[in-house]
A and B are shown apart, each in its own frame.
Chain A
Amino acid sequence: MSGPYVPEIATDRDGNQHEVQGWQDDFYGGKLGFWLFMFTEVLMFGAMFMALAYYNTLHPQDFLDASASLNRLLGGVNTVVLLISALTMGLGLLNMRVGKVKEAKLMIWATIILAAAFLVIKGFEWRAEYNHGIFLMHDQMLPGSSLPFGQKLFFGLYFTMTGLHGFHIIIGIGLMIWLLKRINAEKVRPDHHILHWNIALYWDIVHLIWVFVFPYYYMIGAGGVTGGH
C-alpha cells in the first residue's frame, strides 16, 4: 500500500501525454466520505434515542424517577472531561495544520489521557449502580424484581447507550494511538493531514452524542422530588 506515488500517464490520439488525476490527496473527498460515515453513526444513535423517547412516552414517571437516581456529579464531570478533550483534539489538529507537529502530538496524548479518565469515571459509576443491584440481567433488572417496569426499560437503555458510547471512546483511543504512529512515520504531515482531520471529526461526533445522552439520562429527573445521589 505504501511507497511513492507514481502517476499514471495517458496518451491521447495526437500523441500528447497527460497525467491521470490521482485521488490520493483529495482532501475534500476524504472529508466528505467521513461525513457519510458519521451519518451512519447518527442513524444508529438516532434509532436508540427514538426507542428511548418511545418508552419515555409510555412510562414518563418511571423515567423521571430513574433519571433522578443517577449520579449527576460523575455524569457532569465526564461531560466537562469530554468537552476539554474536544478542545485538545481540535488544538492538536490546528497545530498539525500549521506545522507544529510536536505540539500536535502532545495534544493527541492529552486527548488520550482525558478519554481514559472518562472511561475510569464511567467505570466507577457503573460499579456503584451494580452494587445497587442495577445492571443488565442482574438483581433489580430481572423480570421478577420490584423495580418498576419503566425504570427497567430506562436502565436497560442507559447501559446500552452509555456502553456503546464508551465503546466508541475505546475505538477513539485506538485511532489516536494509530494516528500517533502514522505521524511518527511521517505518513501524516502538515501537508497531508486528512487522517488527523477525520479522527478529530470522529472525536467530535463522540462528544456530540454525549451532549444529548447526558441531559436525557441524567438531567430530565433533576427537578424531581426524589433528587439525585
Chain B
Amino acid sequence: MDTNTIDYAKERSGYYKILVGLLLLTAVTFIQPHMFMTESTFMAQMLIAVVKGWLILMFYMHLKGETLIIWMTGFSLFIVFTFFAIVIGVDVQKFQFQDESHITSSATPIAEVGKESAPSAHSAQ
C-alpha cells in the first residue's frame, strides 16, 4: 500500500495549482503563433508541450521524489530519442531512394509515377 503520510488539503491544493498552470500553458499554445517566436512555431509549440508534460509527469503522475522511476523513464526517453535522432538526422539527410520511394512523390497520379523524378522537398531542410 501507499505508505506515505497524506496531507489531503495540501495535495488537493497542489492538483488545482497544476491545473491552473496547465490551463495557462494551453492558452499560451493558442496565442503563441500570433505573439512570439512566430518564425519557429513548431519549436515553440514543442517547448510548451515539454513543459506541460513535465508538470504532468512530476505532479499528476507523482514522479517527484521517485528516483528509480525517474531514471527508468529518462532512460526510456533517451532510447526513443536516440533512434529518433538516428532516423531523422542521418537517414533523411542522406536519403538514397528519392527516385524509388513513394513517400517523396507529389500529387502525380500513380500511372505517371516513374516518368518523372520525385520532388526534392526534403533537401530544403
Contact = CB atoms under 8 A, between A and B. Distances in A.
Contacts of B68: 32
A50 interface: yes
Interface residues of B, number: 56
Given A32-B69, A46-B80, A57-B88, A91 B15 contact: yes
B61 A204 contact: yes
A119 to B, nearest CB: 20
A54 B80 contact: no
A90 B83 CA distance: 33
A73 to B, nearest CB: 10
Interface centre among A145, A148, A219, by most chain B C-beta atoms within 10 angstroms, is A219
Interface in B51-105: 52-53, 56-57, 60-61, 68-69, 72-73, 76-77, 80, 83-84, 87-88, 91-92, 103-105
Interface in B91-122: 91-92, 103-110, 121-122
Contact of B45 (A35, A54, A76, A215): A215
Interface of B: 1-3, 6, 8, 11-12, 15-16, 19, 22-23, 26, 29-30, 32-34, 38, 41-42, 45-46, 48-49, 52-53, 56-57, 60-61, 68-69, 72-73, 76-77, 80, 83-84, 87-88, 91-92, 103-110, 121-122, 124-125
Interface residues of A, number: 61
Nearest to A220: B42
Given A59-B122, A87-B19, A208-B53, 4 more contacts: A27-B2, A83-B26, A94-B15, A197-B2
A215 B48 contact: yes
A159 interface: no
Contacts of B91: 54
A84 B72 contact: no
B33 A79 contact: no
Contacts of B110: 143-144
Contacts of B11: 94
B2 A220 contact: no
A50 B124 contact: no
26 contacts: A25-B1, A27-B1, A27-B2, A31-B69, A36-B72, A43-B76, A46-B84, A50-B87, A53-B84, A54-B92, A57-B122, A57-B125, A60-B124, A86-B56, A87-B16, A91-B12, A91-B15, A146-B107, A191-B1, A193-B1, A204-B61, A211-B49, A212-B49, A219-B30, A219-B33, A223-B38
B56 A211 contact: yes
Interface in A84-106: 84, 86-87, 90-91, 94, 97-98
Contacts of B23: 80, 83
A94 B12 contact: yes
Interface string A16-51: 000000000101000110011001001100100110
Contact of A208 (B34, B48, B56, B104): B56
A9 B12 CA distance: 42
Nearest to B95: A58
Contacts of A149: 105-108
Nearest to B69: A35
A150 B121 contact: yes
